[in-house]
């Protein structure tokens, strides 16, 4: 079965950094597209960043220049490096692999 284990969330001050990790099992990792989503209270779930099999990446405009998505096909892990964090980045962040496999989410809170 597909399992996605997320880690790296927490509380950080504005301007700080976090790195989220999503370790995958039960899939052929290298042929799957990967993505990070987030959902803030009262908001719809938003696609933040994606990385495709060929290495191409996409980002929502609000995080461009601050966030970087990457993947390690040996460790079967996808990462989201989050720099210059803002309070509006506060949300539950979810890892998605392929079309329909989701992690449980990890809370990111940016507050002074």
Chain segment 71-89, per-residue pLDDT in tens: 998 999 999 999 999 999 9
Chain segment 28-37, per-residue pLDDT in tens: 888 889 999 9
Q: Which of 9, 29, 24, 22 is nearest to 92 (CA)?
A: 9
Q: Which of 12, 106, 17 is nearest to 68 (CA)?
A: 17
Per-residue pLDDT band for 15 (boundaries 50, 70, 90) equals: very high
Q: How far apart are CA 25 and CA 54, in angstroms?
A: 20
Q: Is the pLDDT of residue 53 over 90?
A: no
* pLDDT-above-70 percentage for the chain: 100
Q: Is the pLDDT of residue 50 over 90?
A: yes
Q: Is the pLDDT of residue 99 over 90?
A: no
């Amino acid at each position: 079965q597909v399992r996605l284990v997320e880690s790296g969330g927490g509380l950080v001050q504005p301007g700080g950094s976090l790195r989220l990790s999503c370790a995958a099992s039960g899939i052929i990792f290298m042929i799957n597209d990967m993505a990070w989503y987030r959902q803030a209270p009262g908001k719809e779930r938003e696609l933040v960043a994606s990385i495709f099999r060929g290495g191409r990446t996409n980002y929502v405009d609000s995080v461009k220049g601050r966030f970087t998505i990457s993947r390690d096909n040996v460790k079967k892990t996808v990462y989201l490096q989050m720099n210059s964090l803002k309070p509006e980045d506060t949300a539950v962040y979810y890892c998605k692999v392929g079309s329909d496999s989701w992690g449980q989410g990890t809370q990111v809170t940016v507050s002074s």
